[in-house]
Structure 1
């Protein structure tokens, strides 16, 4: 599996590591301990392809227009980078915090892998029935009671993180 995601990741143009300012590649990668913190919070392991990506590619910005595609009716132009494990955990904790009325920003057992400035989100599903799938949640969907959610309001973007990258590389959704 890591061979496939490595090949796909290499075909996407990422902003280079800014070594002139003293940055090192390690600043962009997620540490195993940070990934373990996500897994502890979520109560399950992350898909192997996503863990590989976070530890080998990391949080670099996309530098080309490969993401100017539509997947299941959603324009991917909002996608400019994937977050590192620390941000993923922080944004997920904030989004799944339940208020006094039982409302939260995202359904339980979904992980915020990136979000846009307007708060559109890509979510990684960690439930048994949909493990590894990637969902889109529009900024137009406000907090609500997700405890008995049936994926209403979410758009399926990919069957896995690898599948999402394949669609970006191909420039069109896979069947």
Structure 2
């Protein structure tokens, strides 16, 4: 069975059983999402590198916020030459567009899953996990990239851990906040029309 088949059941032969009796193995959502990322290696690499660069700027903005204000303050604009808000909003908007484009790219996969009888919440959960498995490693690499490109003037372990976990939580919420409505809306589209559109 090829990896382009998007059912959550694999039928394979077990040597201990009789010759004609297939064994049904169920895939977990995480392993199936991983197989989707492996199947689309080139797109995953491009989105991963883009996400790494954008999340590097995002973590840099969060780190500057924490060093200037002691926390994340997205409304205090002191002056335009020293404000991290422009970097924060532009990198957040870039990451939002990246997540949205990744959801739109999966329109054909969602159509196939709905055409073969997949349920709506299963499609939403699977595609959201694909996004999380793509964005989280890119954000971890982006955090270390921001440490290398622009090391902080006063480095403290507590503020770096705080900025890492705060930025990662915002990125996970961003993934689910964009993917659940956009993928949920695409499950209402005629699945065969979605398949023809992504042919």
Identify the TM-score tier after normalising by the shorter chain.
under 0.3
The structure whose residues are more often helix, as a share, is 2
Taking structure 2 as the reference length, what is the TM-score of the superposition? Answer: 0.24
The structure whose residues are more often strand, as a share, is 1
Taking structure 1 as the reference length, what is the TM-score of the superposition? Answer: 0.26
